[in-house]
Amino acid sequence: MSIHSQVATEQDVPEQASTVAFMASYLEGLTLVERLHRLLLDVIKDEFERVGVLEINAVQALLLFNIGDNEVTAGELKSRGYYQGSNVSYNLKKLVDMGYMHHQRSEVDRRSVRVSLTEKGRHVRTIVAKLFATHAEGLMSRGVLDHQGMEDISTSLRRVERYWTEQIRYIY
């Protein structure tokens, strides 16, 4: 074995170890994102049980929170990142039927339905907003995260989102 091939091999070992370590961290990050989303839904569900709102689920409550004061279509919900599920139409229909949302056919495109929150829907949004405000306060007051820490997390997650979006758009 030549000295040149020994040097190349020795240089590859730290590089391979670095790649393996990165992969382990990446997989842990993916697991955490998924777990955090599920925990968020559980926290919302528990809050709604606590305040006696039992007819809607956490996904629907989060959908109402994200819509807020906007008037949107189902397609816009997905494109704006407010809703990631494949059953957005089902949840919108349920929310309309239960009186949490108004729906109106678009004047321009009769196939399109625009939705907005009713007073009942705004009440749910307020419950979720208060819950999130309490969480933000608790994270800061207990020293779990400060503003910069939250900014760093958000920046990193946006970069991963941008990378994954590019993968969907440009790799077939």
Long-range contacts: 6-9, Cβ < 8 Å, 24+?
Answer: none
Residue 4 scores a pLDDT above 50: no
Separation in Å, CA 78 to CA 46, 47, 73, 99, 118: 26, 25, 9, 22, 21
Query: How confident is the model at residue 114, as a pLDDT?
Result: 87
Q: What token pair was written down for 98?
A: 């239960």
pLDDT tens-digit map of 122-162 = 999 999 999 999 999 999 999 999 999 999 999 999 999 99
Task: Locate the domains of the chain by residue range.
Answer: 55-167
Nearest to 137 by CA among 155, 150, 124, 121: 150
Out of 3.30.70.580, 3.40.50.300, 1.10.10.10, 3.40.50.150, which CATH number does the structure's domain 55-167 have?
Answer: 1.10.10.10
Q: What share of the chain is helix, strand, coil (3-state, %, to 5)?
A: 70, 5, 25
What percent of the chain has a predicted confidence (pLDDT) above 70?
89
Query: How confident is the model at residue 90, as a pLDDT?
Result: 87
Does this model's pTM top 0.85? no
Residue 94 one-letter amino acid: K
Query: How confident is the model at residue 79, as a pLDDT?
Result: 77
